[in-house]
A and B are shown apart, each in its own frame.
Chain A
Amino acid sequence: MEKLKTENVNVYYGSNHVIKNVSLSIQHNTVTAFIGPSGCGKSTFLRLINRMNDYIEGFRKTGDILIDGEDIYDRKVRVEELRKKVGMVFQKPNPFPKTIYENVIYGLRIQGINRKSILDEVVERSLKRAALWDEVKDNLDKSALELSGGQQQRVCIARALAVEPSIILMDEPASALDPISTAKIEGLIYELKKLYTIIIVTHNMQQAGRVSDNTAFFYLGELIEYNETTTIFTNPKATLTQNYITGRFG
């Protein structure tokens, strides 16, 4: 089932042409990795999907981005509704300076859901899915800022899961973490794929190889190659892709 489709998408920041004519299609319940050197536009492209670029001065976009067949940049679409469907996890863990419990339920609070029984249930379910429940279940009233970096990042994942999105965007979610926390996050991504569509930006080739079904290689704003991860890594069609994944530049 096709979850996300982009058609001839171009993005400009002022006169800077940062995304050039990108068309791709992403299936439901898959993990897609965006790779490419710094400044290639992969993060910009990721942030198009939940419209986080809207605030940036001089941002302009052409082309269509469809989720479940609907244009998310249509004037009738309320961006707050879109972001409940498309969750996001950022590069640096950014928990709110509140308790673990309050962090997880923030998305529900702003929707006006205040029933304790519902909130308790969501907190448990989300933290379990984020593989953090066993570590924090006795300390839900502790400030999230007191957790380790890896735990903070899983709080952020639980927080994103709590609002029941169908797509989760991850912008280099493990780049600020140690190898053990990284392994935990990667295992988590594999599990979450069963319930969500995941798109992950990463600088780490091995990580892309381990977690993703499909890989898109971006270079200077263009989508150079998009295929199954195994094909990209074993038999890339473009020389540029081959040079990048073998570490000849990047």
Chain B
Amino acid sequence: MNKRIDINRVKDIAFKYFGICCTLFGLIMLAVFLLSVLKEGLPRLNWQFFSSFPSRKPEEAGILICLLGTIWIMVLTAFIAVPLGVASGIYLEEYGKKSKFASFIEINITNLAGVPSIIYGLLALEIFVRILGLGKSLLAGSLTLSLLILPIIIVATREAVKAVPGSIRDASYALGATKWETVWFQILPASSGGIITGVILAISRAIGETAPLIVIGAMLYITTVPTSPMDDFSVLPIQIFNWLSRPQKGFIINATAAIIVLLAITFIMNGIAIHLRNRWQRKVKW
């Protein structure tokens, strides 16, 4: 009997160290990656790098155009995807709960979240670029990425709306509010923290996407600043992809510097999302 306990104790300790090793493996890989990127790319980050156009000489090239492209894409995608996603999430949670139509949509949204991003690119190439004739414009790119992140926003909205207790709905209805008033005055404000968190995470996913934008024909090399949604564009990940495929060492350094910029944007957005979520959880105690 005692032997049995000893064996179990050894197993217990062994598993603990195994778990520590697994965790360390991931952390070390990440640290190695970050250190090598920072070591190589950090010295390259200067004003010239941020304010220059692409160039054939690596030391003269910069990320101005693709950084602007990323910002354009971020804003346009948010404008398209947020109203659509939030409205769909509210519909599914508050209105269409029990209809067959709603459960049909629900299944499809779950499926959409698992579709590889390049497939969205193919769909967008046919619909936005060719049929709607938007070309390889910022608008076409934003619509593509909006499709990609819609499922994420819808699911986040549903979760946040679901977390609002039913007693709040009862109280609102009992005072003579319509469904719309209840959603607008009570449910949306009470769930906004969760919704905004989901939206930020979705958009930070969108700005890291490369494949679907390459499929719709985003520019690998472009020398004009985008000034309207119908302009051609490039974004940071595409620029990184482009530079990494060059043989010269200078471009590889440029790529690592651009990776640092992209990582910084993503980390900042995720940080804001985490901050908002914590503040929201503290503020609303039911």
Contacts and interface: CB of A to CB of B under 8 A. Distances in A.
B16 interface: no
Contact of B98 (A57, A98, A111): A57
Interface residues of A, number: 27
B199 to A, nearest CB: 21
Contact of A87 (B98, B174, B177): B174
A145 B98 CA distance: 32
Interface stretch (B70-78, B143-151, B163-171, B264-272): B163-171
Interface of B is mostly: helix
7 contacts: A52-B173, A83-B176, A84-B176, A88-B174, A97-B190, A107-B177, A145-B285
Contacts of A160: 174-175
B172 interface: yes
A107 B167 contact: no
A169 to B, nearest CB: 8
A96 B171 contact: yes
Interface of A: 50, 52, 57, 80-84, 87-88, 90, 92, 94-98, 106-107, 109-111, 145, 156, 159-160, 163
Interface string B167-193: 110111111111001000110011000
A145 B286 CA distance: 8
A159 B175 contact: yes
A96 to B, nearest CB: 6
B185 A97 contact: no
Contacts of B5: none
A106 B167 contact: no
B176 A110 contact: yes
B181 A94 contact: no
Contact of B185 (A50, A81, A109, A111): A109
A50 B174 contact: yes
B94 to A, nearest CB: 11
Contacts of B284: 97, 145
Nearest to B182: A110
A96 B168 contact: yes
Contacts of B185: 106, 109-110
A50 B177 CA distance: 13
Given A87-B174, A163-B176, 18 more contacts: A52-B170, A57-B98, A82-B176, A83-B173, A83-B174, A94-B170, A96-B171, A96-B186, A96-B190, A97-B189, A97-B283, A97-B284, A97-B286, A98-B189, A106-B172, A106-B185, A110-B175, A145-B286
Contacts of B174: 50, 52, 83, 87-88, 90, 160
B177 A110 contact: yes
B171 A94 contact: yes
A110 B284 CA distance: 23
Nearest to A91: B167
B184 to A, nearest CB: 9
Contacts of A156: 171
A237 to B, nearest CB: 34
